[in-house]
Structure 1
Amino acid sequence: MDDGATGENGRDHHSELHDGDHATSSTTGDPTAATTGDPTAATADDPPTGTVEQLFTAPEGGEPTVAHEQITCEPGGIVGDRYYDGSGHYAPYDTCQVTLVAWEDLVEIQETTGIDLTDGRHRRNVVVRDVAPTDLLETTFRLGEATLRGTRRRPPCAYVEELADEAGVARALGDGRGGICADVVAAGSVAVGDELRVVEADPRTVGEGIAARLRQEADEDGD
């Protein structure tokens, strides 16, 4: 959620910036090839979709974010975060239980604008690598031991720039780099380095896969 930043047991990521990193879509194989009979379920052999790079919470609205090695997600949000406790700046009218942003986008922002947001001033909770958060919209995914569902985009606002105390932050997080909101479907812990794995694809992707398979079968029948 939007709502600067001190590290608590956080890793130093400034030495980890990689040239040419950009947020890219990752696939988990054919979402229609389910082993459970559910056409939206990913198969057990699918590789991880992404990895947790950083974790942040803010104890109160307007307070600096704090970096963590592990957090606990429960229905309603992250234990100890301002929106879980109802003290976030936009509570109770415009809240996200959990927010995610791409590590690659933060790298790109630093490389193109000189603004370093890897310290958590973006105000998002979970920084993920190797997956574009927008690809998680309307999907259900495992994040560590927790299960979440992507709900909507989370564009930046003037308030996040005010708290970051640096001009250009809101613009830098624009164009889809602001990340997404997600709801907690099942409680669990999430740690830095944990895998992110899609377990239920979004209905649109499933529908496109079914339609493609039906077209292929029709073409084969016509040969």
Structure 2
Amino acid sequence: MSEHWQGTLQQIWICAERGGTPAATEQAQAVAGTGLRGDRYFSPSLQRDPARQVTLIASEVLDEVALHHKIDLRDGRHRRQLVVNGVPLNDLVGQEFLVGSVRLKGVELCEPCSRMARLSGEKNAIKAFVHRGGLNAEILIGGDLSPGTTILPVPPLQGRLPL
């Protein structure tokens, strides 16, 4: 993975209840080990399931799917919380990265599911988003998020760790 990239947080989508309609917001609080305050997945119990704390999707993928597959989920129907630009999400599984001062760790790819297809009303969404449906991430260090925030990789430690 290249460590020489820089991205931007473009949008934040919060959905207060399971199956509800996501709403765009200009600010969200990321709580370490828990999730985004006010979101349906915000729960201390998620400390046992870090893959459900926060989800990200690339705006480039949303634009490409809208153009080439005629499936437009850019209005939050993608069911991901953070829309980013310029971030190699598929390369971040197992990697740490910063969204402003918030430190995240990629856990696994967020593959499209039948729930997303059903709630979006787009039956072909699963096929269109396979292997590019985003990233599930763990919140290691919390803080405030807002659109326009810079996203950067955390470089791996070089050499041996001190004893």
Question: Greater relative contact order (Cα 8 A, min sep 6): structure 1 or 2?
Answer: 2
Unmatched 5+ stretches in structure 2: none
The aligned counterpart of 2:52 is: 96
The aligned counterpart of 1:74 is: 31
Q: CA deviation at 1:145?
A: 2.3
The aligned counterpart of 1:167 is: 123
The aligned counterpart of 1:58 is: 15
Matched, 1:115 2:90: no
**Higher fraction of strand:** 2
Q: How does 1:1-223 map to 2 (within 5 A)?
A: 27-29=2-4, 49-75=6-32, 76-85=34-43, 96-174=52-130, 176-201=131-156
Q: CA deviation at 1:200?
A: 3.4
Distance 1:145 1:96 in 2: 20
Residues 1:85 and 1:60: Cα distance change in structure 2 (over 3 Å): farther
Distance 1:67 1:144 in 2: 19
> Does the 8 Å contact 1:83/1:95 carry over to 2?
no
Q: Which has the larger radius of gyration?
A: 1
AA aligned opposite 1:193: G
The SS at the match of 1:172 is helix
Which consecutive aligned stretches of 4+ in structure 1 deviate over 2 angstroms post-superposition? 92-95
AA aligned opposite 1:178: G
The SS at the match of 2:63 is helix
Q: CA deviation at 1:80?
A: 0.6
Distance 1:96 1:195 in 2: 22
Distance 2:43 2:121 in 1: 25
User: Number of matched residues?
Assistant: 157
Scaled by the length of structure 2, what TM-score is found?
0.86
Distance 1:71 1:169 in 2: 27
Aligned Cα RMSD in Å? 2.5
Q: CA deviation at 1:72?
A: 0.7
Q: Percent identity?
A: 34
Unmatched 5+ stretches in structure 1: 1-24, 30-47, 87-91, 208-223
> Does the 8 Å contact 2:30/2:143 carry over to 1?
yes
AA aligned opposite 2:66: Q
Distance 1:162 1:95 in 2: 22
> Does the 8 Å contact 2:30/2:142 carry over to 1?
yes
The aligned counterpart of 1:217 is: none
AA aligned opposite 2:139: V
TM-superposition CA deviations, 1:158-178 (whole Å, max 9, x none): 11111111221222211x111
Residues 1:94 and 1:50: Cα distance change in structure 2 (over 3 Å): closer
Scaled by the length of structure 1, what TM-score is found?
0.64
